[in-house]
Every structure is written in structure tokens, then in C-alpha cells.
């Protein structure tokens, strides 16, 4: 697999934007096997299909700055979302806008409304939010605790375990009913507005 990847990469560098020569692929298949070559070709094809929209990084960082700013308002979030839509980046950042709205409501201690937005952000962020999952998942679980939503707590705990995110007050402990109840109690009373 590694040798096939290296050889295919060398072919890409030698002729960027060109299809692989059939004779080179045939020789590679005979030498390394169909599986190694086909798997690497499939991976390359998938990477070609996924392009990062222009302006994505800048808007992501702008959104993170809005999240960190304690003075962010709902009209600012609306304006930010409209700008992302105008630049064609809305779909790639669809999870960020409800998260920002949730943060604004959280800072006003409106945990019910914040939870509604966080629930949307939590679902949309799956397989999209990268390292932002840590804060988002922890905040989602915290708001589920504040809203006494046992089903959402369980969903958050399971998703965190699946992606390897450590939850506050649970960390490396087993997700037993007792440990989850302790976490629920602590998160229900704590306020992490300073960490948003």
C-alpha cells in the first residue's frame, strides 16, 4: 500500500493534472497487486472530489473569534451567516451559525434557547467541525444537563466516546449511570461562559 501510494504520488508530481498512464498503472498492478493500487486510486479520487471552498478558512476563524467575543450579538451572527452564504461557504460552516446563536443565549443565561441552538449545531457538526468538536460537544452535554434532557446527555456521552472527546467531569471514567449522574449534577450547576 505504501509503495503504491509513493509511486502514484510520483506520477502525479511528474504529470500534474494528467490521467495516470495506463501502462504505468498496469505495471504497478502486476508488481504490487490490484488491491494496493485500486485502494490508493480510490483515495486519490475522493480527495479530488473534496475541495475546500474559497474563503472557508477566513470565515471559520472569523466565526471562532465571534464565539470567543463576549460582546457578540445575534445581529452580528446573522450578518456573519449572510456573508458566508454570499461567499458560497454556508454549507461547509452550517454547524457554526447555530453554535454562535447558542453561545449568545448561553451568555444571557437563557439555557433553554441556547440548548435548542446547540442541539442543531451538535447534529450538523458531526464529521465537519474537526477539533472544534471538543468545545461544542462539552457545551452540548452541559446544556443537556442544565435542561434535564437525559436522552441528549446519553447521545452526547456516546458521541464523545466515539470521537475520542473527553467530557468535563467524566474524563477517563466509565460512563456508568453513577458517573453520568455526577457529571450531570456538576454541569447543571456550573457556568462556563468564560470558556466559550
**Residuewise pLDDT in 10s, the chain (196 residues):** 899 889 888 888 888 878 888 888 899 999 999 999 999 899 888 877 777 788 999 999 999 999 999 999 999 999 999 999 999 999 999 999 999 999 999 999 999 999 999 999 999 999 889 889 999 999 999 999 999 999 999 999 999 999 999 998 988 888 889 999 999 999 999 888 887 7
Provide the pLDDT for residue 16.
80
Count the residues in the chain: 196
Whether residues 123 and 141 share a domain: the answer is: yes
Q: Confirm if 112 and 149 have CB atoms less than 8 A apart.
A: no
Last residue of a domain, one of 49, 67, 82: 49
> By the 8 A CB rule, do 62 and 80 touch?
yes
Residues 119, 153: contact at Cβ < 8 Å? no
Compute CA 151 distance to the chain's CA centroid, rounded to the nearest angstrom: 21
Is residue 78 domain-shared with residue 150, that is, in the same domain? Answer: yes
Model pLDDT, residue 62: 97
Is pTM, for the whole model, over 0.85?
Answer: no
**Three-state SS at 67:** helix
Q: 78 with 35, same domain?
A: no
Retrieve residue 186's grid coordinates: 456538576
Residues 38 and 85 in one domain: no
> Do 159 and 181 have their domain in common?
yes
Residues 168, 72, single domain; the answer is yes
- Give the rounded distance of the alpha carbon of 163 from its chain centre: 10
pLDDT of residue 196: 78
Residue 132 and residue 115 share a domain: yes
Of 30, 25, 27, give the one whose Cα is nearest residue 41: 25
Same domain, yes or no: 108 and 35: no
Task: Give the orientation angle of helix 56-68 with respect to helix 74-86, to 10 degrees.
Answer: 180
C-alpha cell belonging to residue 88: 458560497
CA proximity to 63, closest of 94, 97, 90: 97
What's the pLDDT score for residue 43?
A: 86
Residue 76 has, within 13 A of its CA and on its CB side, a CA count of 14
**DSSP 8-state secondary structure symbol assigned to residue 194:** G
Place of cell 454547524: 95
Contact status, residue 129 vs residue 136, Cβ threshold 8 Å:
yes
Nearest Cα residue to 138 out of 90, 189, 183, 93: 183
Q: Please check whether residues 68 and 149 belong to one and the same domain.
A: yes
Query: For residues 51 and 162, what is the distance between their CA atoms, to the nearest angstrom?
Result: 26
Let me know whether 100 and 158 are in one domain. Answer: yes
Task: Give dist(CA 87, CA 84) in Å, integer.
Answer: 5
Query: Which residue range is the domain that position 42 belongs to?
Result: 2-49
The number of domains in the chain is: 2
Amino acid at each position: 500500500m505504501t509503495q503504491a501510494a509513493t509511486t502514484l504520488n510520483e506520477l502525479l508530481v511528474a504529470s500534474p493534472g494528467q490521467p495516470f498512464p495506463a501502462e504505468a498503472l498496469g505495471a504497478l498492478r502486476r508488481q504490487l497487486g490490484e488491491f494496493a493500487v485500486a485502494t490508493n486510486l480510490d483515495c486519490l479520487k475522493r480527495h479530488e472530489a473534496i475541495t475546500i471552498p474559497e474563503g472557508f478558512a477566513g470565515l471559520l476563524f472569523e466565526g471562532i473569534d465571534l464565539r470567543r467575543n463576549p460582546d457578540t450579538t445575534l445581529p452580528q451572527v446573522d450578518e456573519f451567516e449572510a456573508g458566508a452564504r454570499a461567499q458560497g461557504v454556508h454549507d461547509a460552516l452550517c454547524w457554526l451559525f447555530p453554535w454562535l446563536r447558542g453561545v449568545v443565549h448561553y451568555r444571557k443565561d437563557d439555557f433553554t434557547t441556547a440548548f435548542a441552538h446547540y442541539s442543531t449545531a451538535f447534529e450538523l457538526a458531526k464529521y465537519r467541525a474537526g477539533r472544534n468538536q471538543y468545545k461544542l460537544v462539552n457545551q452540548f452535554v452541559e446544556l443537556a444537563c442544565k435542561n434535564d434532557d437525559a436522552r441528549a446527555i446519553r447521545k452526547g456521552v456516546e458521541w464523545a466516546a466515539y470521537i475520542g472527546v473527553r467530557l468535563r467531569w467524566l474524563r477517563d471514567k466509565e460512563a456508568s449511570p453513577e458517573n453520568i449522574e455526577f457529571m450531570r449534577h456538576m454541569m447543571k450547576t456550573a457556568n462556563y461562559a468564560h470558556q466559550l
